[in-house]
Amino acid sequence: MQGIYLRKQLPFAEWPQEIRRRWEAAFAKGNFLDDGGPAAHLQPTSRAALKSACGRFLRYLDLEGCEVDAEVPGKHINQKVLTAYVEYRRTSCSDRSIAIELHHLRLALRLIFPQVDWTWLLNATKRIARQAKPRRAKHHLVTSERLYLLGLELMDAAIDAAKALGTVSKTCAFDYRDGLIIALVAVIPLRRRTLTALRLKVHLIRSGNLRALDIPAADTKTAEPIEFLLSPELSARIDLYLEKFRDRIPGAARHDGLWPSNNGNLMDDGSIYDAVRRRTRKAFGFAVNLHAFRHAALTFWSIHDPENILAGKDLLGHRSFGTTEKFYIMTQSRVAGRVLADAWKKRLQKNS
């Protein structure tokens, strides 16, 4: 069996009928008479992740000639089958990716078979996650102020180029757009889906002489609204973008998306992700993805204002400080390392 097949998902229409029925029931929306299914509250991205993981596992079983018996799920979903599945998945992805996939698979199976105890799958997922080789997190070398400065540098370069040309070229418009994206997310580390969904006069509004973000719960992962008043500098940068740069991108006038693309539509989340990685790689020598901006924000906050680190929960849109604290603890370790390195450097300089 080739690994390439394992990356494919079994189309939902080909899932066993009873499993499809249970899946749809789990995501059924509620009304004033009932709360709906147990997964009705999940956002589209979370639903897609669970469905994808389940679809890949069902594809594997299908290729093995097995079909899950909804009445006796343990017949084909057990430790022996999981062990074989993990070994096959290792031909196409890392243990870190497998651990994430198994986490989503377990959540999906809990919805389909709520009567089954899936603790063994949780333990297996944790073991694989512990064994996974840690990735070098170069993005921890930058904090929000450096990312913000990069955004300003890109916008300033676009302004200078436009002055030299005597007009705003498409290249200038793209440079300014990408710089504004980086500067905005450095200040307010929005999740990718929320950033992509921003609309003029809907999410980006005027508040006196300033700009503000007013994002409803429907456009956030945690179903919590986001409200941020932007600084005078960033507000002025947005004003200039809307006055001189945005409409120079082909097709921008046909929609109200804040981030127009080169093909006349809105940038999708993948395009924004790629643009940010490309710009940061050129500037720093390594790519910083959008999620890393959230690490950078906590790093900056914990270094410069550790007394108020609890407010980082609201900045990142976390439901509890427990999630935020994971970033904070890592940050404190890095800060301690820097202090120790500086102490050794001063001592060596003194003795030289």
Q: Which domains does the chain have, with CATH numbers?
A: 3-131 (no CATH), 138-290 (1.10.443.10)
CB 182 within 8 A of CB 279: yes
Answer whether 283's CB lies under 8 Å from 290's CB: no
pLDDT for the residue numbered 339: 39
Write down how long the chain is: 352
- Three-state helix/strand/coil letters over 282-342: HHHCCCCCCCHHHHHHHHHHHHHCHHHHHHHHHHHCCCCHHHHHHHHHHHHHHHHHHHHHH
Give residue-wise pLDDT tens across range 181-227.
Answer: 999 998 888 888 889 999 999 999 998 999 998 888 777 766 677 78
- Sequence-distant (6+) residues with CB within 8 A of 148 are 182, 183, 186, 187
Edge-to-edge strand ranges of the sheet holding 210-215: 204-207, 210-215, 226-229
Cα distances from 330 to residues 217, 290, 308, 325, in angstroms, run 29, 18, 17, 9
Do 9 and 49 touch, CB atoms closer than 8 A?
no
Q: Across residues 50-72, what is the average pLDDT?
A: 91
Contact in structure between 183 and 146 (CB atoms under 8 Å): no
Q: Please tell me what DSSP assigns to residue 134.
A: P
Six-digit token pair at 155?
A: 């916008």
Phi, psi of 4, deg, nearest 5: -60, -30
Q: Which residue has the tokens 């900045």?
A: 315
3-state DSSP call for residue 36? coil
Listed range (119-128, 136-145, 216-225, 275-284) with the worst mean pLDDT = 136-145
Q: Can you tell me which residue has the tokens 């719960």?
A: 217
Reading the block at residue 235, the tokens are: 């507000």
pTM for this predicted structure = 0.59
For the stretch 26-37, pLDDT in tens is 999 876 566 778
The first and second tokens of residue 37, run together, are 């299914």
272 three-class SS: helix
State pLDDT tens for residues 217-248: 777 766 677 788 899 999 999 999 999 999 99
Q: Which of 38-47, 258-267, 304-313 has the lowest mean pLDDT?
A: 304-313
